Amino acid sequence: MRKFLFCILMTSAVANFWPQVAYARDPLPDSATIEIPDVSSADAKKLEKQGHKFFYFYNPTVSFSEAHEDLTDCRRHLEVGAVVLLPGYIPWVESVDREIEYGPNPYGLVGAIIGAIIAGPLERGARNNKMRMCMGPRGYLRYPLPEEAWKTLNEGDEESLILMQAKLASGSKPLAQEVTE
C-alpha cells in the first residue's frame, strides 16, 4: 500500500513540474480568403430528402480556429484506403511475417460487380457516421447540402477540405432546415 501511495505522489509531482511544451503550428489563413462551394439548392425538397447522406456541420458558438481543431481531430479517425483483409486465425506462436493465402472471391464475378457498385455508398455512410459521432457531442449541428458540394468538401487535399469545412462550421447560420435523422 505504501508503494502504491508513493507511486501516486511521484506521478503527481512529476506531472506538476514537467515542462509544458507548446508545439508551433502554422498559422491558419484568414477565413475570408477561403473559397467554399455553394451549399444552397434550388430544389429544397431534394436537399431535405438527401440531408442524411450529404451534410456539413455548423456550430454557432465556435470560432474558425476551434472548428478547424475539431474537424482535424475528427477527420483523423476516417479510414483511408480500402478495407484490409485479415486472416481468420493467427496463432500466437508463429511469426507475423508468414505468407497469408487468400482464396478466390466466393461470390464470383457477379458478386464482385455488385460489391464494386455498393462500395461507394457504404464507404460514404461509414465516413459520415464516424464524423457525426465525433462532431455531435461537441455541439455541432448538421445541415443538408447538394451532392456536388459534399464531394467538393470531402474529396481532395485534406488540409484544404478541413479549412473549407471549418469556414462553414463557424460561419453564418444556414438557411436550410437542420438534419435530425
- Tell me: the pLDDT tens digits for 97-110? 556 566 677 778 88
What is the rounded distance in angstroms from the CA atom of residue 44 to the CA atom of residue 145? 10
Query: Which of 79 and 71 is assigned the larger pLDDT?
Result: 71
Query: Which of 124 and 142 is assigned the larger pLDDT?
Result: 142
At 10-60, the pLDDT tens digits run 565 555 554 544 444 678 888 888 998 888 877 777 777 777 888 999 999
Contact by Cβ (8 Å): 144, 40 = no
Burial 84-112 (b: 16+ CB within 10 A, else e): eeeeeeeeeeeeeeeeeeeeeeeeeeeee
Query: Which of 103 and 4 is assigned the larger pLDDT?
Result: 103
Contact by Cβ (8 Å): 146, 44 = no
Report how far apart, in Å, the C-alpha atoms of 26 and of each of 29, 35, 45, 64, 159 are. Answer: 9, 19, 41, 15, 12
3-state secondary structure of 141: strand
Q: Where are the domains of the chain?
A: 43-79+108-181
Query: What is the Cα gyration radius of the chain?
Result: 23
